[in-house]
Chain A
């Protein structure tokens, strides 16, 4: 059974930093691209960023709204995905989901999400 478990969310002041983690199990983590998707309170879903697998050189892509501030990384030896968030803004307040990329242009399995609140 595919499982994705996020952690690391919490309250942070504007301008601060936070690192989210996602522990994966139930599939061959190293084979898959992995993504982060967020959802602001009462709002829709927004794709945040992606990291490809080793075969595709672990390259990354980001939404314009977070580019230059957020960094997606992974550790295949630990079956873990990370999201380093710097220079946080109030508009970054959201539930952040770790999501498995099927490998054929769709997202299939989602974690339960972790809430990040940016507020003074």
Chain B
């Protein structure tokens, strides 16, 4: 169960935009429009931020957006705020017997 590849860390100043990449293979990210993104603050449970590549659940700020090209998905946070400082994980559907593969995680730091 190989993990999807994310950068270990991304940083930005308040108000800036940052983008986190999530690279998989033609067997997961490249095959399905079922990429999700989770935000996790320290010692807290993950929170769904984006599903099905670019959809936001109710209550999630429109500063969060998602996209996909080929085997790579991306999460963009615009108008970066201090509260966005957290770990972010992508996940993709892979198969019926191994439904979810997670990314390696990215620590976002607000400078």
Considering residues B34, B45, B52, B99, which has the most beta carbons from chain A within 10 angstroms of its beta carbon? B45
B89 close to chain A: CB less than 8 A: yes
Chain A proximity mask over B14-33: 1 for CB below 8 Å, otherwise 0: 00000000000000000010
Q: Which of B48, B93, B96, B102 lies in contact with A46, CB distance below 8 A?
A: B102
Q: Which of A47, A111, A113 lies in contact with B100, CB distance below 8 A?
A: A47
Interface residues in B, total, Cβ within 8 A: 27
- Please determine whether B45 and A106 come into contact, CB atoms closer than 8 angstroms: no
- Besides A45-B105, A105-B52, A109-B48, 8 other A-B contacts (C-beta < 8 A): A37-B102, A45-B89, A61-B96, A61-B97, A64-B1, A106-B91, A107-B48, A111-B45
A65 close to chain B: CB less than 8 A: yes
A50 close to chain B: CB less than 8 A: yes
Residue of A nearest to B46 (CB): A110
Instruction: Give the shortest distance, in Å, between B20 (CB) and chain A (any CB).
Output: 14
Residue of B nearest to A113 (CB): B45
Residues of B contacting A102 with CB < 8 Å? 51
**A interface SS class:** strand
Residues of A contacting B57 with CB < 8 Å? 108
Residues of B contacting A113 with CB < 8 Å? 45
Residues of A contacting B52 with CB < 8 Å? 104-106
- Please determine whether A106 and B34 come into contact, CB atoms closer than 8 angstroms: yes
A44 close to chain B: CB less than 8 A: yes
